[in-house]
Structure 1
Amino acid sequence: MGDASSASLPRHVAIVMDGNGRWARLRRRPRFAGHRAGVDAVKGVVRACAEKGIEVLTLFAFSSENWRRPKEEVSLLMDLFATALDRQARKLHQNNIRLTIIGEREAFGSALCERIASAESLTRNNSGLHLVIAANYGGRRDLVQACKAVAIEVRNGKMDPQSITPEVLEAGMSLEGLPSPDLFIRTGGEMRISNFLIWHLAYTELYFTEILWPDFDESAFEAALGSYAGRLRRFGRTTEQVLAAQKG
């Protein structure tokens, strides 16, 4: 396993925070207790990323498929989201952290949308860690929306189909202007990306752990960073080419 030195840190970490419900069930507590405990784990990872100088942290908080969960759980999750925004936005601002919410926020209702807009506005000019929360987000929809925007430009004669490049499509997606994730982490033992940033994870290093999200502490995060530090990212090149470029 590698050493997560500053030279080998990822610029952008993306995390699927899985296992809240199982964490609660193991303790014979309601599922929502797991979600509350998961908020504390979020605080820890945000703090660690800010301290290490990681540029972007993207967290998958609520997928577009999560509306299928029991109505009571969804309602409680929305309340928890709103409460977290109210309590944490000013703390993020005080720590020079910028907050951005990606996903179809219209489904959240006007009150929560206002909270989101307020938190984003408060932190917009901060220059430290950029914290991105994916809420009511789906990777396929993200890609489809970008394709629709390009199709409209072509239909209106403002774009030649031959000029469509990966960069053009990416500019219409939720992470516009941000580097793609270098490291993807999924807790809870499942080994899939679950429709999360499917375009942006093309060359991302994947890391899966059995640890349930509420138990994902600083040592667990260090283990993930250490795994990343020990990998050789070739991007289509040979190992010899990469090592030669590293030497100078």
Structure 2
Amino acid sequence: MPEDKMAEHFFKETHSRDSRGRYEVRLPVRPEHPRVANETRSMAFKSLSGIQRRLSRDARLAEAYGSFVRDYERLGHMTRVPASEIQCEDAWYLPHHAVIQASGDKCKLRVVFDASRKTRAEHCLNDFLWSGPPLQGDISLIFLNWRKYRFAFTADMVKMFRQFLVKREDQDLQRIVWAPTADAGPVDYRLNTVAYGTTCAPYLAIRTLSQLVIDEGVNFPLGAVV
């Protein structure tokens, strides 16, 4: 597909590594995306009010949600937007909500950033992001390959998408607002890493891992094969 080729070319031309070796990527955004900062910020505030009402009725969820957000900021995966920079016509605000995975007595909370929320004109950020070519392995083939081995291991890459930095020029497309309660003053943040919920996130994450093989495979041949 032409768009897949454009996304691949864009990645090759714009990715880089910082002084620590961490990868930085651009969001593959279409140049004609609308300027809807004020409207999406209003939508984000309305969504936040709904979250706060829900949290006020569930202390356990409130603690988990607050802990997630605090951890996000502590790790540098998001930063506060200075008051002087809040007005930005190119910004796009993302509502967010909790997805809870329950397993027995344990619950795992993940906050999803809703890049598919529509404006009055039926625009959403995901409409203006190239998703990139699918790079995930076919799960059915992976299962079939397991028959070749006596043992198989599964593992989870912790905070996978958040291992990849988004370059500063695109971070304002990933803004959120947050306050734990209605009494607390809301704060504007920009997300500094690839965000779960954007259509390009799987491509950017897996493509960057492939780039790591290209860049470091000679030094780590056994890992590169995997």
TM-score (norm 2): 0.27
Q: Which one has more relative contact order, counting CA pairs under 8 Å at least 6 apart?
A: 1
The answer to which structure has the higher helix fraction is: 1
